[in-house]
Structure 1
Amino acid sequence: MSQMRKEIPLALKKRRFSLSVYIPLLLALCAIIPLLITIGSIEIFLRPALISQISTDMEKSTQTHMQLVDTYLSERLNDVKTLSETAAIKDQLKNPQADSTNVRNILLSIQHRDIANYISVSLLTSRGNNVISYPAPPSSHGKKYLIVPGAQQALKQSGHVYVSDVFYDLTSNIASVDLYARVVDNNSQILGYVRASLSLRRIWEPVDSEQESGNSSYATILDQNGVRIAYTNPDLSGFTRSPFLFKAIAPLSTEIKNQIQNENLYGQDTNAVTTEADPELASFQNNGKQGDIGQINPAGQQQAYAVTRYTSSVVPWTYVLFRPLNAVTGLADQQLISIFIIVTLVLVAVLGIGVVVGRNLALPILRSVILLRESNVNLKTLADEESVVAAEQTWMVEASQVALKSVQYYTNSTSIAAQRVNQLTRELVRDIPTLNRERLQKVLGEIAEAASYIERSVKHQKTMNDKLETSLRVTTQVTEQLTRGATSTNEAASQMEYIVKQLTSVVGEK
């Protein structure tokens, strides 16, 4: 029992927190664990799926915009091809001096087609001289080329429409390409060429629209030379252009530089083409597969971007879309942040509920503990008192036994002495006539000695009576202490009954 009393305080000392603290923590733990499992599942399974979905949307957006460009260019190529096969065009090139009214009407109809955006449509002789054009004469390029050298060489070998590299007029802020188609007679002899100068405004529109997403996304179109021929323009008015427009992503070869110089490509005569190096984009362009999602730090940007590309099926151009990496992962991150906010709110709510519940659970238990401690103190005090009472009772019993034996002894002795006195008195009365002086003195001496013995016995009996009186008084005190002990025990029993009720209110009945 003493060992258990020593272990209980040690256990109480080891407890650092009260029950009202443990209960909210336990409830919070029970609430947090499922939420943490949910967060882990989102991070492991849902987040990659969301990122993959966003990446797929990015790929589809790139593909869609490039296909819009392809559709637009295909229609323009078909316009030029159809025009080159028109009989009136062939007749006009056979006889340039003939009436051109019919041809002008044809050129007029092409010029005013919806979304065509032709700058001019011209008929050129086989030597490259202008025959007729609408609405204005064609602009020459570089060394006064009305048809660039590459186009003449290609059209001699193929009947496909030839698309030139990009030209740029800084004054009008118009980028354009020339579409060339050969015109042949029935013997496949070249009569001349149809040249249509096409503005790239329609092609720039999907590139500029990328900024409408509002997440710092942008796009560019790279031609076969690695020059940015379209670039998302932050100036919605269109009066200025991005400094990256008509800049190469990697150093150009000498051959390409000469071609740019000779044909005045990209507005070379007013704004020389330079390299705005972007090694990561150049590497992605050369090594990445179409539709792949890469991660690069583009030139001129201060953060990582997800990048994807899609190559045209009509011209050697590549549409490249850039989207901030945090925008790609943003939706998943926002969901995680939302989960964290929910976890925080739930945690606060659980802690609040736990505090209330913990107090409601802990207060009866704490009151019960206090009452148990009081009962323990009372029982300990009662035990000490009962120990004293037991010692007093032992002393009382021993004293009473001694007093009783003494009283019995002296009572018996007094009885014997009284009998002896009585006997001597009868003998004295009977023998007084015959008694001599010596005999009389002896009898009287014995009577006096018996009387003295009786007197001493009476004194001893009085002493023993005093001890018995003390024993009775102690017995009375012990009785009172036992009564108080019974009262304390009754109070302790009442407290224990109250404690049982308190604990029952917490844990419930069986």
Structure 2
Amino acid sequence: MALFKNGSSTNRRFTLTAKVSVLLVLAVFVPLIITLIGSELFLRPTLVSQASAQMATDAETHAQAIDALLIARLQDLQYISRYRAIQVYLSGNNKYQNQAKDELAVGNHLDANYGNWTLFDGSGNPVLSYPTALQRGVDRIPRSLLTQLQTHNKSLISDVHLDKQTHMAYVDMYTLISAENNRTIGYGRATFHLTDIWTAVNNATSAAPRSYAMIVDGNGMRIAYTNPDKTLTTLPAPLFTSVGPISDSLRKQIAEEDLYGNTMTKVKTLSDPKLMNTTRDGTSFDFTPATKSEVYQAYQVKAHVVPWSYIVLRPVDTITNAATQQDVYLVIIIVIVAVLAVLVGLLVGRTITKPILFSMSSLSSSSDMLNKLASREQVTATEQKWIVESSQTALQSVQYYTEATNVAARKLDEIGTELLHNWERVDPIQAQQRLREILAAAQYIEKVAMHQEKSNQSLSTAIRIATQVTDQLIEGATSANEAAVQLQEVIKQLRQVVGETK
């Protein structure tokens, strides 16, 4: 009997429970992965673009505020320079000195950041100040500025100085003062502290963590820098340092005019080539500042009134922090959902496979019973076949003896007939008696042979029926065997479905 056997396989199959878990994980995992990839491809560049736009707005707003502030202060100076007492006093009438000083006081009170107002004669020498003159060494208009006032500009703003008493940066605003006949009679100067500008730069940290700002003037000097000292009792180290090499002529000018607090701390170079080489207005660029160790995105806007550049700087990682946090959250969600999907898959898979395994067990039991039945039927059929074969052998023997009896009977009949024909040669009475006995025996044998022939026919019929029954038993055993093989195939397929190996 040929029984079905599972082929030996070294490859372990995935169970149905594992397959359900994997499908659930993929159903949740794939959309989240797509979201994560989309965040990297689209959200991060969008955040960088938005941050750049915010920084541009911030820088442009502050640059415009600086322009508006300085324009307003220049207008103050130009307006006061037209006062009659000031013009008469500079024309040489000392009787108007007090009135001219009062008019200077009016201008000084227009803004709390004014340090003092000073009048100069036509040669650039100071003649009157309010409230008092600043301590700045030789107080006169620098020759380079005086030339510009005389030839090009009626108003201009100097480079940045540092007040030694208040440690506050300031600029000098100059304007040319003319008499009614447009004759130059002197100059006016308003010293203006950059308090509001420094405050705006210091507040740049509120835009984003670790962000800051600075202002670089036309000489490449950092004239304003976000102060990390919240008490503002010290100045930031990069303040009044150059972003590039300082030329000899500029260093001479710094020393002569005492620019950038040079007498207090000598101006040094803190090289930032990216800032030095960036000249276009409204530009965004990435670089690592000299005082930092991480990459920053910077946006630069140039002011129009003065050759200053307002620069906003923000760490690149804070710009993309939202995308990074979203990526972290997505990864956490993916892990949590994957674990939940695995647990649900295990539960659902076991719920599905439990009845299938139960059916497999029942089918396996039925298959075993069919195998046992087929085995028994085959044994019975084999025994039955052996009996039939023995009966056939006996039948052949009976047939042989029956044929021999018929032969003997016919022989006796021939002898009797011969005796009857030779009757004259034997004792008539005795021979006749014997012949009758022979004939009677022969007739008896013939009758027995006839009965035996009938018995042989009955035996042959019984053997034929037994043979048919045996064939039916063998066919039934074969059918049971085939059914068992089919059940084994069904069990194999169910095991493949649930992933069970045996």
Task: Indicate yes or no: 2:296 matched with 1:299.
Answer: no
The aligned counterpart of 1:162 is 156
Q: Which moved more, 1:476-485 or 1:73-82?
A: 476-485
Deviation at 1:229, TM superposition (A): 0.6
Which of 44, 47, 52 lines up with 2:49 in the alignment?
52
- Distance verdict in 2 for CA 1:14–1:490, change over 3 Å: closer
Whether the aligned pair in 1 keeps the contact of 2:119 and 2:189 (CA below 8 Å) is: yes
Whether the aligned pair in 1 keeps the contact of 2:374 and 2:477 (CA below 8 Å) is: no
Task: Indicate yes or no: 2:345 matched with 1:348.
Answer: no
Deviation at 1:22, TM superposition (A): 1.4
**Counterpart amino acid of residue 204 in structure 1:** W
The aligned counterpart of 1:98 is 95
Which of 134, 139, 153 lines up with 1:139 in the alignment?
134
Deviation at 1:270, TM superposition (A): 1.7
Which sections of structure 1, spanning at least 5 residues, go unmatched?
422-432
Q: Distance in 2 between matches of 1:297 and 1:397?
A: 106
Deviation at 1:345, TM superposition (A): 2.7
Q: Which moved more, 1:85-94 or 1:197-206?
A: 85-94
Deviation at 1:311, TM superposition (A): 0.6
**Counterpart amino acid of residue 367 in structure 1:** F
The aligned counterpart of 1:251 is 245
The aligned counterpart of 2:106 is 109
Task: Indicate yes or no: 2:23 matched with 1:26.
Answer: yes
Task: Indicate yes or no: 2:377 matched with 1:386.
Answer: yes
How many residue pairs were aligned?
475
Whether the aligned pair in 2 keeps the contact of 1:155 and 1:181 (CA below 8 Å) is: yes
Q: Distance in 1 between matches of 2:109 and 2:380?
A: 127
Task: Indicate yes or no: 2:386 matched with 1:395.
Answer: yes
Deviation at 1:91, TM superposition (A): 2.1
Deviation at 1:98, TM superposition (A): 1.6
Task: Indicate yes or no: 2:182 matched with 1:188.
Answer: yes
Whether the aligned pair in 1 keeps the contact of 2:377 and 2:473 (CA below 8 Å) is: no
Which of 276, 296, 307 lines up with 1:316 in the alignment?
307
RMSD: 4.5
Deviation at 1:119, TM superposition (A): 0.8
Q: Distance in 2 between matches of 1:258 and 1:197?
A: 22
Which of 214, 217, 220 lines up with 1:220 in the alignment?
214
Whether the aligned pair in 2 keeps the contact of 1:385 and 1:481 (CA below 8 Å) is: no
Deviation at 1:230, TM superposition (A): 0.7
Whether the aligned pair in 2 keeps the contact of 1:226 and 1:248 (CA below 8 Å) is: yes
Which sections of structure 2, spanning at least 5 residues, go unmatched?
413-426
Which of 148, 170, 173 lines up with 1:179 in the alignment?
173
SS at 2:242's partner residue?
coil
- Distance verdict in 2 for CA 1:290–1:16, change over 3 Å: farther
- Distance verdict in 2 for CA 1:268–1:180, change over 3 Å: same
Whether the aligned pair in 1 keeps the contact of 2:377 and 2:477 (CA below 8 Å) is: no
**Residues 296-339 of structure 1 deviation map (CA, whole Å, 9 limit, x = unaligned):** 11112111111111111110111112111111222222222233
Deviation at 1:55, TM superposition (A): 1.2
SS at 1:333's partner residue?
helix
Name the % identity: 33
**Residues 221-274 of structure 1 deviation map (CA, whole Å, 9 limit, x = unaligned):** 111111111111001111101111111111111000000011111111121111
Whether the aligned pair in 1 keeps the contact of 2:59 and 2:299 (CA below 8 Å) is: yes
**Counterpart amino acid of residue 294 in structure 1:** F
Q: Distance in 2 between matches of 1:416 and 1:5?
A: 58
Q: Distance in 1 between matches of 2:7 and 2:284?
A: 66
- Distance verdict in 2 for CA 1:340–1:292, change over 3 Å: farther
Which of 26, 32, 36 lines up with 2:33 in the alignment?
36
SS at 1:192's partner residue?
strand
The aligned counterpart of 1:229 is 223
Deviation at 1:17, TM superposition (A): 1.8
The aligned counterpart of 1:120 is 116
Q: Distance in 1 between matches of 2:52 and 2:311?
A: 14
SS at 1:193's partner residue?
strand
TM-score by length of 1: 0.78
**Counterpart amino acid of residue 133 in structure 1:** S
Deviation at 1:204, TM superposition (A): 0.5
Q: Which moved more, 1:91-100 or 1:290-299?
A: 91-100
The aligned counterpart of 1:426 is none
- Give the structure, 1 or 2, with the largest relative contact order (CA under 8 Å, sep 6 or more): 2
**Residues 124-171 of structure 1 deviation map (CA, whole Å, 9 limit, x = unaligned):** 222333333222x222545x0332222211111244321111111344
**Counterpart amino acid of residue 120 in structure 1:** N
Q: Distance in 1 between matches of 2:282 and 2:188?
A: 36
SS at 1:58's partner residue?
helix
Q: Distance in 2 between matches of 1:29 and 1:370?
A: 32
Whether the aligned pair in 2 keeps the contact of 1:290 and 1:311 (CA below 8 Å) is: yes
SS at 1:9's partner residue?
coil
Deviation at 1:476, TM superposition (A): 12
SS at 1:17's partner residue?
coil
Whether the aligned pair in 2 keeps the contact of 1:210 and 1:218 (CA below 8 Å) is: yes
Q: Distance in 2 between matches of 1:180 and 1:121?
A: 10
Q: Distance in 2 between matches of 1:331 and 1:361?
A: 43
Q: Distance in 2 between matches of 1:328 and 1:49?
A: 10
TM-score by length of 2: 0.79
Q: Distance in 1 between matches of 2:384 and 2:282?
A: 105
Deviation at 1:109, TM superposition (A): 3.1
The aligned counterpart of 1:428 is none
The aligned counterpart of 2:196 is 202
1:420-435 matched pairs, under 5 angstroms: none
Q: Which moved more, 1:161-170 or 1:98-107?
A: 98-107
Q: Which moved more, 1:271-280 or 1:122-131?
A: 122-131
Q: Distance in 2 between matches of 1:224 and 1:96?
A: 40
Whether the aligned pair in 2 keeps the contact of 1:378 and 1:488 (CA below 8 Å) is: no
SS at 2:325's partner residue?
helix
**Residues 104-123 of structure 1 deviation map (CA, whole Å, 9 limit, x = unaligned):** 44333332335x40011122
**Residues 73-116 of structure 1 deviation map (CA, whole Å, 9 limit, x = unaligned):** 111111111111222321232245224444344333332335x4
The aligned counterpart of 1:290 is 281
The aligned counterpart of 2:415 is none
Whether the aligned pair in 2 keeps the contact of 1:281 and 1:296 (CA below 8 Å) is: no
Whether the aligned pair in 1 keeps the contact of 2:373 and 2:480 (CA below 8 Å) is: no
Deviation at 1:59, TM superposition (A): 1.4
Whether the aligned pair in 2 keeps the contact of 1:375 and 1:492 (CA below 8 Å) is: no
